[in-house]
Amino acid sequence: MVDLSGYQPPPFDQWPDAQPYEQWHAISDQGGVIELPPNAWDPSARAFHVTRFADADRILRDADTFSASINTEGIGPYMGELILGLDGEEHRRYRNLVAHAFRRSAIDRWERELIQPIISDLLDDIVPAGRADLVAQLTAKYPVQVICGIVGVPLADHDQFHQWAEKINYGPLDHEAGMAASRAMRDYLEPLVAARRTNPTGDLLSELVHAEVDGERLTDERLYGFLRLLLPAGAETTYNVMGTCLLLLARDRAVRDRISDDRSLVGPFAEEVLRWESSVTMVSRRVTIDTEIGGCPVPAGAAITVLNGAAGHDEDRWPHPTDFDLDREPVAHLAFGTGAHQCLGMHLARLEVAVGINAVLDRLPDLRLDPDRPEPVVAGYAFRGPRTLPVTFG
């Protein structure tokens, strides 16, 4: 029996190696809602974690009772005006202005012009050696390069762009560095934005600066807020899912051979990975009125952490949920959230993962874990994936 008394998140420095599922399963077994102990700097603040699918789904769909404003509280000063932190009509108007840029035809073009060439170039560098760390050499670079390419950042500046994005993300832990990176990224993007205003080229930036719905356009604050969000939202997440997919393929020869022989299984495989080991395990909301979750009273003002990763292990929805099962009946999961804020990049992410898996199966035959290196594991608290993936191939 897991002891949940005093349950709380691990300290930040332990997040990358955390293994929280045992505790999260125990919360589900005990009703699916747990209140965290009061924190030292604001003892009156109330905070709850929620693990069951039905509760998570209801919270994410009910924006009147569960506000997304909490998403701006820590990171807002560094990111700018965030789509993730708005509710209701204001969020709808912002989302309408950016969503068009992610339409099917744009994604198809990105696949031809960016995604396929990027994965192919990265694999060109890997293939000759017969062994590689697929995290350091492939997954850590692939989605970053795709997003930078989509935004229009030249290849030579990718590392710099990535570093700014990380400093912005860690702004709440290092204020000076976060603010400096936030300004630097805007200074860098301003000339690109100005050029697209006068001479649109059909890329994402051109779409965003010229987007107009009902006579309304993106303000500069929202434009730069959206651009600052793209890398953490689209790269960190996809990189981890890719890593977990490739780890499974390298570890389980039967699964690898089935998918390699029948590529129609690539999509179902990636969906089962997203359910089983969601790369984003939690999303936050702030309660607007006194309510209840799963029968547990929750006061207005409380912070709710929806553990969407844990919700993917709900046995009311998936039999034997902790097993990875390629033949599972497809049932919607919450890896991309749901409701008004459901991931705007989910079609792009699914495509990147599918293209990446197909390319690896084509170019790295007989993929296996490197027997001379420690066996990699999926780890992490808020973001989960393997930190290394040493493999050999034919």
- The residue among 126 and 348 lying less far from ligand HEM, judged by its C-beta, is 348
Q: How remote is the C-alpha of 280 from its chain's centroid? A: 5
Q: How remote is the C-alpha of 40 from its chain's centroid? A: 30
User: Given phi > 0 = left and psi -120 to 50 = alpha, else beta, which region is 172?
Assistant: alpha
For position 270 contacting ligand HEM by CB under 6 A, the verdict is no
367: DSSP letter:
-
Task: Tell me which residue of 150, 227, 220, 245 sits closest to 185, measured CA to CA.
Answer: 227
For position 355 contacting ligand HEM by CB under 6 A, the verdict is no
Tokens read off for 386 = 């393997």
For position 109 contacting ligand HEM by CB under 6 A, the verdict is no
Binding mask 28-67 for ligand HEM (x = CB under 6 A): --------------------------------x-------
First-to-final CA distance of the chain: 45
Q: In this structure, which amino acid lies at residue 151?
A: V
Q: Which of residues 238-267 bind ligand HEM (CB under 6 A)?
A: 238, 241
DSSP 18-35: ---HHHHHHHHHTTSEEE
Among 27, 79, 84, 132, binds ligand HEM (CB under 6 A): 84
Among 118, 335, 355, 357, binds ligand HEM (CB under 6 A): 335
For position 195 contacting ligand HEM by CB under 6 A, the verdict is no
Q: Which of residues 136-155 bind ligand HEM (CB under 6 A)?
A: 147
- The residue among 34 and 82 lying less far from ligand HEM, judged by its C-beta, is 82
Q: Which of residues 198-227 bind ligand HEM (CB under 6 A)?
A: none
What is the nearest approach in angstroms of ligand HEM to the Cβ of residue 279? Answer: 5
Helix runs in the chain, H state only: 21-29, 53-61, 70-73, 76-79, 88-99, 104-110, 116-126, 134, 142-151, 158-169, 175-198, 204-210, 220-231, 237-251, 253-261, 266-276, 308-311, 346-363
For position 189 contacting ligand HEM by CB under 6 A, the verdict is no
Contact residues toward ligand HEM (CB under 6 A) are 60, 68, 71, 83-84, 95, 147, 229-230, 233-234, 237-238, 241, 279-280, 283, 335-337, 341, 343-345, 348-349
